[in-house]
Amino acid sequence: MRKGIINGLVDTLEIAPKTIYGRIAFFHQQCLQFEEYHTQKNLHKLKGKTLNVSMDKMKFYTNWRKGGESKRIGLSNLCSVENDTRFVLSSTLNLDHTSDDKFIKREARKYKDSEKDNYKRRYAQYVISNNDSSLKPVENDELATKTPERYLLVHQTYVLLTHLEKLKRFYNTVDHVNLFADNDSGFEGAIPAIYHDLIKQERLTAILLRKSKGVSDEKIKCADIEQFLVNLAPKENVKSQWYRHHDIMPATQDVDFKLLTPIDTTAYYNVSLHGVDNYFQMSRRRINMVERPLPTATSSKKWNGYGAYNPKYVAMLLDIFRVYNNFVLTNEKSLTKNKFKKNQVPKTPAQHMGLVDNTFNVQDILEFSVERLTIVRKIKEKSSIKSSIKPEVFEVNIEPEYIS
């Protein structure tokens, strides 16, 4: 999966844009079926494992469609990635492109949803009005955003709760989860609420991370870390909850952490957001539509030359890349750079995590069919039944006839 500009593909391949977008929709459907089939089939293989999961949001914009209009559509993709294997457990975009947006917007205007409190709205999960407070610009960005002309923006609260619920099938299967989330007030409130059962069973450790801000804390020697963790516990005073991470690893020397649950040494030494950060970097490098915007000469607007005009296809490409990353993209490049690992067999994230045993290619995904697999399975079952049936042997006693 490489970068490709739609207009460039149209000129190079001499095919209509409608054909390309139709192929994207087909690939998207195939990827979702392929991913769900293998996940449901092999989820039991994760029993007894410990996952180190990093969670964060990737924010990007789509371009405006009308001349003279400078309001973009702000989107964010919430992802959870297993740090050790690079496997993306789930990604959730704050865009609903499957519901009937015209009907919902018409109903919202009819019942005056925008004039009611959030808890009284019929469609509270959607951002329908351009005056909604959730459309305020992000930090250090003065350019305003708006709702899309087509499809529906989803409130970040609903996106987060949905994302955490989707992860439960993984977390309920494995033995333990160390969850490292970026510093976000939504994460801080939702994680303990959604995973209270796992936390009570001591099967989930949750920690918030941020870049170090010079938190005052005494220097701790490596030998004293275990005693430090024993005395460490989540406190009610929010201001005193941040601690400097004392580790000899450069990646965690400038990191502060806040505990949402009790912590042990295993979680402490695995504190990192590198899994999700690396995945976001790969997404921006391989998908033009989510690249960072480029400022114009006047700096009055920000424009991304590769940005999408239809956010629906951004959502599809992000799903396609997640499946491609998990089941097709191997670690061959990193192995060749390491002289001690050159002889190792390249594996995909799904193989590393133990979800599947073999490597797949793009053709396997495009030709995937649940119906065909069902037919093949039934044929094998019938053939095995036939081979197991032994022919019955009948003993016939024939008395000789005597001719008198």
Backbone angles phi, psi at 164, to 5 degrees: -65, -35
The winner for highest mean pLDDT among 113-127, 187-201, 287-301 is 187-201
Whether 213 maps to a domain, the answer reads: yes
Whether 210 maps to a domain, the answer reads: yes
Residue 315 has what pLDDT? 93
More confident of the two residues 375 and 205: 205
pLDDT higher than threshold 70 for residue 312: yes
- Helices 17-42 & 311-327 angle (0-180, nearest 10): 40
Give the mean pLDDT of the chain: 81
Residue the block writes with tokens 């033995």: 175
pLDDT, tens only, 221-242: 444 556 566 666 665 544 457 7
Is 79 in contact with 280 (CB distance < 8 Å)? yes
How far apart CA 395 and CA 383 sit, in angstroms, is 28
Whether 356 maps to a domain, the answer reads: no
Whether 35 maps to a domain, the answer reads: no
Whether 132 maps to a domain, the answer reads: yes
Residue 79 CB-density burial (10 A; 0-12 exposed, 13-18 middle, 19+ buried)? buried
Question: What is the pTM assigned to this prediction?
Answer: 0.83
Describe the strand order of the beta sheet including 152-154 as a list of residue ranges.
95-96, 152-154, 126-127
pLDDT band at 247 (very low <50, low <70, confident <90, very high): low
How far apart CA 91 and CA 96 sit, in angstroms, is 13
pLDDT higher than threshold 90 for residue 27: yes
3-state SS of the chain is CCCCCHHHHHHHHCCCHHHHHHHHHHHHHHHHHHHHHHHHHHHHHHCCCEEEEEEEEEEEEECCCCCCCCCEEEEEEEEEEECCCCCEEEEEECEECCCCHHHHHHHHHHCCHHHCCHHHCCCCCEECCCCCHHHCCCCCCCCCECCCCCCEEECHHHHHHHHHHHCHHHHCCCCEEEEEEECCHHHHHHHHHHCHHHHHCCCEEEEEEEECCCCCCCCCCHHHHHHHHHHCCCCCCHHHCEEECCCCCHHHCCEEEEECCCCCHHHHHCCCCHHHHHHHHHHHHHCHHHCCCEECCCCCCEECCCCCCCHHHHHHHHHHHHHHHHHCCCCHHHHHHCCCCCCCCCCCHHHHHCCCCCCCCHHHHHCCCHHHHHHHHHHHHHHHHHHHCCCCCCCCCCCCCCCC
Q: Which of 11-15, 163-167, 200-204 is the least confident region? A: 11-15
Share of the chain above pLDDT 90, in %: 44
Sign, CA dihedral 147-152-158-159, equals negative
pLDDT higher than threshold 50 for residue 404: no
Here the tokens at position 372 are 């065909």
Taking the C-alpha atoms of 196, 124, 76 and 328 in order, what is their torsion angle to the nearest 10 degrees? 70
More confident of the two residues 94 and 135: 94
Instruction: List Cα–Cα distances, 115 to 145, 147, 340, in angstroms.
Output: 20, 17, 64
Region 331-359 average pLDDT = 83
Residue the block writes with tokens 């502060």: 256
How far apart CA 234 and CA 358 sit, in angstroms, is 42
99 CB-near residues (< 8 Å, 6+ apart): 152
Is 83 in contact with 272 (CB distance < 8 Å)? yes
pLDDT band at 278 (very low <50, low <70, confident <90, very high): very high
Residue 266 has what pLDDT? 84
* Number of domains the chain is built from: 1
Is 308 in contact with 17 (CB distance < 8 Å)? no
pLDDT, tens only, 44-71: 999 999 999 999 999 988 875 655 566 7
How far apart CA 122 and CA 115 sit, in angstroms, is 12
Domain membership of residue 97 as a residue range: 47-323
How far apart CA 75 and CA 327 sit, in angstroms, is 26
How far apart CA 70 and CA 336 sit, in angstroms, is 46
